[in-house]
Structure 1
Amino acid sequence: MAAAIAGAVAFTIVAAPTPASAALPDGYRVETSRDGDSLDMQIVDGAGRYIGWAEFNADPWGDTPGDAIRAHDISGDGLGVEAWLDIDPGSSFQADRIASTRGHTSPYATPWITGNIAEGTRVGLRICLVQGATIYCSGTQYTYA
């Protein structure tokens, strides 16, 4: 609750919970590739078509920032693609960063979502398909910042 005290305003910040999600639809699969601690997760539909991917880039390279995620949607199937990153995961997944293609016409790649993460910190990445309130997510792949 916000309160005004002698002209100042205090705010209580409440962290948003990770949205509830279901497993990927039948026939869909995820292919994972790694380059050092960087990680790509590609989603393939039941017909074998690549429909999008999520990226975690651990270290800066050229114009690409480190400690960053982004999502790519390359299929005009009506589903958006999201990359979810859990920083220093505990016993349950908590998305600390989400890159989403929601509301954009495919093909579309999000800008990099970035922020410093201490070197050696464990992170978890998920790729999700989204449509309205429906969310389908992969299992979590782990790597390090």
Structure 2
Amino acid sequence: MSRKILGISAVDIGIRRKGIMLLASAAVMAGATLSAGASSADAATPGGALRVERVASPDGVGVITWYLWTGDTLRGKFQWSDDPNGSNPGDSMRVTDSYADGEGIEADLITDPVRIATTAGHNSPYTSPWNTGNLPEGGEYSVYLYLVAGGVSTYLQTVTVTA
């Protein structure tokens, strides 16, 4: 059964978010070209340029972590576990908000229904529970990463995960 928000299916929400992200990206790029001395990354991300670092687990099995930085500040992280390993469930994700600034971290795994992990509504530092569910083995999926505050989502980046 698809999740619906205000009568709109999760698939429609994903499509609408993608369209909004494209429009927002175009607006940011247009604004950046008009701003003297401002870079597009600085204009798009509060606190400076966004940097995302992907770090695989040392043994090559288990959790992959993407660290989300703005300037020199670690904002949080997104974690993906493709196969069950110890206490980590398979085909699962979670996010951590590391910085107490009133903004949380959200990750949207583009499946039907869209799977969401968020720290919204929690004081930092906070790690969401694993959001899990079986996916076809070897499938690649997009995950949209956002900063969230007051019901507003600010798109950060899209990463790809493999089930």
Shorter chain as denominator, the TM-score bin is 0.7 to 0.9
> Equivalent residue for 2:31?
none
> Equivalent residue for 2:68?
43
The percentage of counterpart residues that share the same residue type is: 34
SS of 2:101 mapped into structure 1: coil
My pick for the range that moved more, 74-83 or 14-23, is 14-23
- Could you list the runs of 5+ residues in structure 2 that have no partner in the other structure? 1-6, 26-43
> Equivalent residue for 2:9?
15
Instruction: Note the 1:73-112 alignment, pairs <5 A.
Output: 73-87=97-111, 96-112=114-130
- Could you list the runs of 5+ residues in structure 1 that have no partner in the other structure? 1-12, 88-93
The normalised TM-score by structure 1 is: 0.75
Greater length-normalized contact order (CA 8 Å, ≥ 6 residues apart): 1
* Number of equivalences: 126
Counterpart check, 1:29 vs 2:23:
no
> Equivalent residue for 1:71?
95
Alpha-carbon displacement from aligned partner over 1:81-105 (angstroms, at most 9, x marks no partner): 0122124xxxxxx882110101000
> Equivalent residue for 2:84?
60
| Residues in 2 aligned to 1:49 and 1:125: alpha-carbon distance in whole angstroms | 22
* 8 Å CA contact retained: 1:39, 1:143: no
| Residues in 1 aligned to 2:107 and 2:151: alpha-carbon distance in whole angstroms | 16
CA-based RMSD of the aligned residues comes to 2.3
> Equivalent residue for 1:91?
none
Shift of 1:14: 5.0
Counterpart check, 1:113 vs 2:138:
no
| Residues in 2 aligned to 1:63 and 1:112: alpha-carbon distance in whole angstroms | 10
SS of 2:137 mapped into structure 1: coil
Shift of 1:30: 1.6
SS of 1:138 mapped into structure 2: strand
Read off the aligned partner of 2:82 and give its amino acid letter.
A
